[in-house]
């Protein structure tokens, strides 16, 4: 399967401004796009690239005042299969986890493991069998506990806020699920990327940029999605981190005004985008 993905973001800047962005494909995915992946900045200015501490591709620019357009395009080869399912995947004791997984048991900006959510997590899920059934139970709970409402999105909402307010957008679903997992000693990390409505009925508000999370079980990282709560086709990873604060699409070090933001994720069948 070939999936055409891309985005275009247009800003106006009142003065020259530094910016960091994560809009290109994650290194683990980029090879499946090859030379088809293109990134352009208008006006044409130098772009320096670096890999952050989580292994994500980042771009860095110093943009002049005026209009600024960031555009990304790629054709990504995908298996066409849904997310891997491993219902018997076991949970490793903390003392047996690899060092690079331990970081994803700790509290972070939006995932307050060190809050009252720890006690809530053990009350809700402490009786569950560890491993895959536990994580799936967490997803089931979050999916039914939270009401999706894009109009009520708020960039300061933490996992504890989500639990109390019972409303949010996809990042909020993931933050609460991640926090519950960490409270129960399951390493969990936040993911952002493209997710189109492939293999499911097309939504009124199409899935394009989306969030999901990954947990470490039985020596592997597996994708889970507390909002959709079903295996999906065509997750195209851009970045991973502790939570949404680590994987912002753009970070502008100065005032800016967003003019337009367009995203596309479509299956290509014999040269035709569907």
Pair (265, 226) in one structural domain: no
Residue 124 within any structural domain of the chain: yes
* CATH code of the domain containing 260: 2.60.40.2250
Is 85 part of any domain? Answer: no
Looking at residue 223, which CATH number applies to its domain?
A: 3.10.620.30
The contacts of residue 152 (CB under 8 Å, 6+ apart) are: 167, 168, 169
> Tokens representing 222?
């597996």
**Stretch 57-62: mean pLDDT, rounded?**
97
CA distance 159 to 176: 5
Contact, 190 vs 178, CB < 8 A? yes
Percent of the chain with pLDDT over 70: 97
Written as six digits, the tokens of 193 are: 């990327």
- Asked if pLDDT for residue 253 goes beyond 90, the answer is yes
d(CA 120, CA 110): 17
pLDDT of residue 150: 82
- Residue 28 and residue 148 in one domain: no
Per the structure, how many domains does the chain have? Answer: 2
Q: Note the pTM of the prediction, 2 decimals.
A: 0.94
Please give the residue range of the domain that contains residue 218: 94-242
Buried b (16+ CB within 10 A) or exposed e, 258-274: eeeeebebbbeeeeeee
Q: What is the dihedral of CA 10, 16, 22, 24, to 10 degrees?
A: 70
pLDDT score at 257: 95
pLDDT in tens, 150-187: 888 899 999 999 999 999 999 999 999 999 999 999 99
Same domain, 253 and 233: no
Mean pLDDT of 209-233: 96
Q: Is residue 266, in this structure, part of any structural domain at all?
A: yes
**Which tokens go with 69?**
């357009």
Is residue 118 domain-shared with residue 194, that is, in the same domain?
A: yes
50 with 141, same domain?
A: no
Region class of 254: left (phi > 0), else alpha (psi between -120 and 50), else beta = left
- Quick check: is 120 in a domain? yes
Is 89 inside a domain boundary?
A: no
Question: What's the rounded mean pLDDT across residues 197-207?
Answer: 75
168 lies in the same domain as 199: yes
Q: Assign residue 34 a region: left if phi > 0, alpha if psi is -120 to 50, beta otherwise?
A: left
In this structure, is residue 195 part of a structural domain?
A: yes
Check whether residue 113 and residue 133 sit in a common domain: yes
**Spatial CB neighbours of 101, under 8 Å, sequence gap ≥ 6:** 187, 216
Q: What is the DSSP code (8-state) at residue 156?
A: T
Same domain, 137 and 202: yes
Q: Are residues 169 and 267 in the same domain?
A: no
My answer on whether 41 and 58 are in the same domain is yes
Residues 29 and 164 both lie in one domain: no
67 falls within a domain: yes
88 lies in some domain: no
Mean pLDDT of the 57-78 span: 96
Calpha distance 69→43 (Å, rounded): 7
């Amino acid at each position: 399967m070939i999936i055409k993905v891309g985005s275009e973001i247009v800003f106006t800047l009142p003065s020259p401004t530094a910016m960091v962005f994560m809009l290109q494909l994650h290194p683990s995915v980029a090879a499946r796009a090859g030379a088809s992946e293109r990134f352009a900045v208008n006006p044409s200015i130098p772009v320096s690239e670096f890999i952050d501490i989580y292994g994500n591709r980042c771009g860095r620019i110093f943009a002049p005042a005026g209009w600024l357009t960031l555009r990304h395009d790629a054709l990504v080869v995908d298996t066409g299969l849904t997310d891997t399912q491993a219902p018997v995947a076991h949970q490793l004791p903390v003392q047996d986890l690899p060092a690079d997984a331990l970081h994803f048991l700790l509290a972070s900006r939006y995932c307050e493991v060190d809050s009252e959510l720890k006690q809530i997590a053990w009350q809700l899920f402490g009786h569950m069998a560890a491993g895959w059934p536990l994580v799936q139970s967490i997803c089931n709970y979050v999916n039914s506990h939270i009401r999706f409402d894009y109009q009520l999105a708020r960039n300061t909402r933490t996992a504890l806020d989500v639990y109390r307010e019972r409303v949010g957008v996809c990042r909020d679903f993931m933050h609460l699920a991640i926090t519950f997992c960490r409270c129960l000693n399951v390493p969990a990390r936040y993911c952002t990327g493209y997710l189109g409505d492939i293999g499911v009925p097309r939504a009124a508000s199409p899935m394009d940029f989306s969030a999901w999370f990954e947990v470490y079980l039985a020596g592997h990282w597996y994708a889970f999605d507390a909002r959709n709560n079903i295996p999906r086709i065509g997750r195209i990873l851009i970045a991973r981190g502790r939570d949404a604060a680590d994987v912002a699409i753009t970070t502008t070090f100065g005032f800016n005004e967003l003019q337009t933001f367009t995203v596309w994720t479509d299956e290509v069948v014999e040269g035709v985008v569907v």
